[in-house]
Amino acid sequence: MALWGGRFSQAADQQFKHFNDSLRFDYRLAEQDIIGSIAWSKALVTVDVLSYDEQKKLEKALNELLDSVRQDPQQILQSDAEDIHSWVEQKLIEKVGDLGKKLHTGRSRNDQSTTDLKLWCKAEIAHLISGINQLRKRLVFTAEQHQDAVMPGYTHLQRAQPVTFAHWCLAYYEMLTRDESRLQDTFKRLDVSPLGCGALAGTAYPMDREQLANWLGFSTATNNSLDTVSDRDHVLELLNNASIGMVHLSRFAEDLIIFNSGEANFVELSERVTSGSSLMPQKKNPDALELIRGKVGRVVGALTGAMVTFKGLPLAYNKDLQEDKEHLFDALDTWQACLDMAALVLEDIKINYQNCQDAAKQGYSNATELADYLVAKGIPFRQAHHIVGEAVVAAIAKQKALEELTLEELKVFSDVIENDVYPILSLESCLAKRSAKGGVSPIQVKFAIDNAKQQLSL
């Protein structure tokens, strides 16, 4: 029988029951529902609804249930209870009889479901942060190993200026650092307890909601009951955080897919994270990375879906809000899986130093150096830019790199050019010159690695 059966004389249509029930996905909130129920039973003692002994009995039974769902969460799915709140109450009544029927006094599934989900979100944030930090560590280790791997840096996917593989790794390290801090911010805002707001107007039992919040590990209790039972900002924030995090991971994946292509051949992915073709025996496909790139779609879709679901809902609780969970569970599971997979891909990636360096030397990525050289010899930058443009056109015609032009050939473009230009045009010089904070010089990259290691307590 449903929790609300008394008012009804007809059973629910099976089709409606299946449509309405949420147990098949909210069973994941079992632990939180039980922990919330224990705290609620303690609050009921303070308002004389339960005696101390009754509360102890309920707490013992709820703790047994907690052990049992921790061991076998799937058992819940055998039940035809409407949702996780009904399931816990049913189980409790099976264990302690009529005493179990007192637990829901002064409480509603409206404050209960949002409390459960907030508790789940708090644990999930800790889990995601640990996934992010694993990947940050892996990026720093990889950067540390490949400080000497010079490769082309791109803008518009055109070779622009040389960078190092280490500098590339550290770019993603920065994005992940922001992803982590976004989760910390979200945590602070959602760490407020909804329990004791009842269905919408507040509980009719004069309990201390701050104490209740404290028992549940929340920093404080919410201020307004109407807002509390209908607030899903934390769901939207987490979906937003996940979407931004997945956008980062999709760019990481795309860069590596390009680096791994036959044309670039800068990196080689391990056989542990690639797969073969059923038809073409030579293929080793970057499936792990393609899936990371592809899965951003469902995460951004979940954010969009949740935004549209919550838009225009009248206060306070509406059943539409039950749609919060599937979006959130799927998006956060996906983000977590992609973080883990990205770390695995980096674990034994091989960098082809020679190919990276050869590519960095092509494409006139030292043209800016020649312009800066002319500037140092007194030529205004705009004019220097023009001169180098002409030199590049001539070099292309001769199928030579700038540093392969003889001094005589270079002097055609400006007679201030002397033999001292050649060291300036080397890859080493291109890197070393970029020594201001955040630049690609080996000293700055080392400094960034040391800072990152300190941040991660490595």
Q: Output Rg (C-alpha) for the chain, integer angstroms.
A: 30
- Residues 99 to 118: which contact ligand ARG by CB under 6 A? 109-110, 113
Taking the C-alpha atoms of residue 340 and residue 338, their distance in angstroms, rounded to an integer, is: 5
Catalytic residues: 156, 277
Q: Which is nearer to ligand ARG, 80 or 347 (CB)?
A: 80
- Residues 414 to 433: which contact ligand ARG by CB under 6 A? none
Q: Which one of residues 269, 299, 321, 391 is an interface residue with ligand ARG (CB under 6 A)?
A: 321
Q: Decide: residue 223, CB within 10 A, 0-12 exposed, 13-18 middle, 19+ buried.
A: exposed
| Minimum distance of ligand ARG from residue 186's CB (angstroms) | 20
Taking the C-alpha atoms of residue 370 and residue 351, their distance in angstroms, rounded to an integer, is: 29
Q: Which is nearer to ligand ARG, 27 or 252 (CB)?
A: 27
Q: Which is nearer to ligand ARG, 164 or 193 (CB)?
A: 193
| Minimum distance of ligand ARG from residue 362's CB (angstroms) | 58
Calculate the CA 101 to chain-centre distance: 41
Q: Which one of residues 260, 322, 334, 336 is an interface residue with ligand ARG (CB under 6 A)?
A: 322
Give how far Cα 451 sits from Cα of 237, 276, 448, Å. 29, 40, 5
DSSP code for 13: P
Determine contact, residues 342/253, Cβ cutoff 8 Å.
yes
| Minimum distance of ligand ARG from residue 322's CB (angstroms) | 4
Locate 245 and state its tokens.
């995090």
Q: Which is nearer to ligand ARG, 87 or 168 (CB)?
A: 87
Q: Which is nearer to ligand ARG, 321 or 371 (CB)?
A: 321
228 binds ligand ARG (CB under 6 A): no
Taking the C-alpha atoms of residue 400 and residue 405, their distance in angstroms, rounded to an integer, is: 7
Residues linked to residue 379 through DSSP beta bridges, in sequence order: none
Query: Of 382, 401, 381, nearest to 391 (Cα)?
Result: 401
Question: Given the DSSP bridges, would you call strands 267-268 and 220-221 parallel, antiparallel or unpaired?
Answer: unpaired
Query: Of 291, 303, 292, nearest to 331 (Cα)?
Result: 303
| Minimum distance of ligand ARG from residue 80's CB (angstroms) | 14
Beta strands in 188-251 (DSSP E): 192-193, 220-221
Q: Which is nearer to ligand ARG, 110 or 203 (CB)?
A: 110
- Residues 333 to 352: which contact ligand ARG by CB under 6 A? none
| Minimum distance of ligand ARG from residue 336's CB (angstroms) | 22
Rounded to 5 degrees, φ, ψ at 284 are: -135, 100
- Residues 291 to 320: which contact ligand ARG by CB under 6 A? 317, 319
Which H or E run contains 203? none
- Residues 60 to 99: which contact ligand ARG by CB under 6 A? 83
Q: Which is nearer to ligand ARG, 26 or 179 (CB)?
A: 26
Query: Of 310, 309, 304, 302, nearest to 328 (Cα)?
Result: 302
Taking the C-alpha atoms of residue 281 and residue 440, their distance in angstroms, rounded to an integer, is: 40
- In the numeric block, the tokens 């931004």 are attached to 244
- Residues 26 to 55: which contact ligand ARG by CB under 6 A? 26
| Minimum distance of ligand ARG from residue 29's CB (angstroms) | 9
| Total residues interacting with ligand ARG, rule: CB under 6 A | 10
| Minimum distance of ligand ARG from residue 317's CB (angstroms) | 6
Beta carbons within 10 angstroms of residue 268's beta carbon: 16
What residues contact 325, with CB distance under 8 A and at least 6 apart? Answer: 22, 25, 26, 28, 29, 117
Q: Name the residues that contact ligand ARG, by CB under 6 A.
A: 22, 26, 83, 109-110, 113, 317, 319, 321-322
